Amino acid sequence: MFFLMRHGEASWEASTDFERELTALGREQLMLLAQRHQQVLSGISKIVCSPYLRTRQSAAIIASALVNVDVTIDGQLTPNHSVKDALSAIEKHGCDNVLIVTHQPLIGDLISFLEQGNQSYPEPVLPGSIYRYSMQWPGPGCALRESVFLA
């Protein structure tokens, strides 16, 4: 399985976009999501996230509900990176039991590319949502959506 996640609800009160942190509601929603879907998420062996504070916090919350999961930061998963950059990051980290935590609009474009083979109809991904896929390798139209978990 391969998982894509948009970070949880983030505050707008920060001096830079990089420093925006999760709101109290965002943290609470992610903790409940992790508890509610712990059985499905327990297959995750690695979490890869953008270096932005809100994605690191989201990854840490999910990781705390799992056993022996490493969190890795990858600079190619930020909101201003392209689908090509994100695919490069996914290829580097693999897509077997990996959770990628990133941002809109990148995640919406990435979902469209992986499911439909293009970015014509980006997915409107809500904060804290986790998408679960069957996917051998990241490529155009190669992902089969199994389920979506909402915060």
Domain ranges for the chain: 2-149
Return phi, psi of residue 20, to 5°. Answer: -65, 130
- Statement: residue 104 has pLDDT above 90: yes
Percentage of the chain exceeding pLDDT 70: 100
- Statement: residue 95 has pLDDT above 90: no
How buried is 99 (Cβ within 10 angstroms: 0-12 exposed, 13-18 middle, 19+ buried)? buried
Q: What is the pLDDT of residue 135?
A: 92
Band the pLDDT of 151: cuts 50, 70, 90: confident
Q: What is the pLDDT of residue 142?
A: 94
The per-residue pLDDT of the chain, averaged, comes to 96
- Statement: residue 143 has pLDDT above 90: yes
Q: What is the pLDDT of residue 77?
A: 98
Q: What is the pLDDT of residue 67?
A: 87
How many angstroms separate the CA atoms of 84 and 141, rounded?
14
Contact yes or no for 140/117 (Cβ under 8 A) = yes
Q: Which amino acid is at 48?
A: V
- Statement: residue 33 has pLDDT above 90: yes
What is the CA 30 to chain-centroid distance, rounded?
12
Q: What is the mean pLDDT of residues 112-118?
A: 96
Q: Which residues contact 28 (CB under 8 A, 6 or more apart)?
A: none
Q: What is the mean pLDDT of residues 48-55?
A: 98
What is the CA 39 to chain-centroid distance, rounded?
18
How many angstroms separate the CA atoms of 24 and 132, rounded?
25
For residue 149, list its beta bridge partners.
Answer: 130
- Domain 2-149 bears CATH identifier 3.40.50.1240: yes
